[in-house]
Amino acid sequence: MTDLNHPVALVTGSALRLGKQMIIRLHQQGYRVLIHYRRSAAAAEQLAAQLNQLRANSAATLCANLTDDAAIAPLAQQAIACFGRLDLLVNNASSFYPTPLANAQLDDWQELFGSNVKAPYFLSKALSAELTKRQGCIINMVDIHADKPLAEHSIYCMAKAALQMMTKALARELAPAVRVNGIAPGAILWPSQPLDDADKDMVLQQVPLARLGEANDIANTLLFLAQAPYITGQIVAVDGGRSLGGANKA
């Protein structure tokens, strides 16, 4: 397969953490990759440079603030223009922070719903014609807390619940040309906000496999869904069994 025939993937929020690992895994499988970032320009450019050293002209970066309504259409246009096609959209970019009800503000609602629901929806809309043309797919990063709320994170959890429903709704609306699935991570990477050892132990006690997951667990699930032609409208929990409920007996 020549470079021009290699599929192209756009992963939003992919300069760091889980997004970065998804980019690396897709690139290893022959994808040309588009690394989207909002603020992490240096990390995005460094990742693209590393991947282009491995395979020339196989990675590029795109900057956009996904909570800016006016940024979505240009991002979609740039994504298609970069390599002349798009086969896979991964809606990974997400804001995450607590919003206790007493302190919640409209700005929190706009940020959390904007990054977790509105941007994925309208980016999917903007790219739907290209993905239909390529018989491509969309994969949304949901969360196990879309079903079981996380304390003091009500707005975030509501946003992820909406993203989960969006995944199922678009799977029906865009079928049969475009498949739409979701991944619901559990405890994979500790959040950017520091957790003390007691909080980490409490989380791991809720995981039947009794350990933190790895970024590659998400990346491998992404690759599986991208290559599974008869799966659509599904949310795959990658959480070591945490969503089963109850405490680990070990």
Residues with catalytic function: 156
Tell how many helices (H) and how many strands (E) occur in the chain: 8, 7
Six-digit token pair at 200? 């980490």
CB 235 within 8 A of CB 181: yes
Q: Please report where in the chains the tokens 């959890």 appear, as a residue.
A: 157
Q: Beta strands of the chain (E only): which ranges? A: 8-11, 32-37, 59-63, 88-91, 137-141, 179-185, 235-238
Burial of 124 (0-12, 13-18, 19+ CB in 10 A): buried
**Residue 98: what residue type?**
P
Sheet with 59-63, edge to edge strand ranges: 59-63, 32-37, 8-11, 88-91, 137-141, 179-185, 235-238
Q: Which residues contact 119 (CB under 8 A, 6 or more apart)?
A: 12, 66, 67, 72, 91, 93
Side-chain half-sphere exposure of 122, counting CA atoms within 13 A:
16
Residue closest to 70 by CA, chosen among 123, 107, 23: 123
Q: Is the peptide bond before 176 cis (omega within 30 degrees of 0)?
A: yes
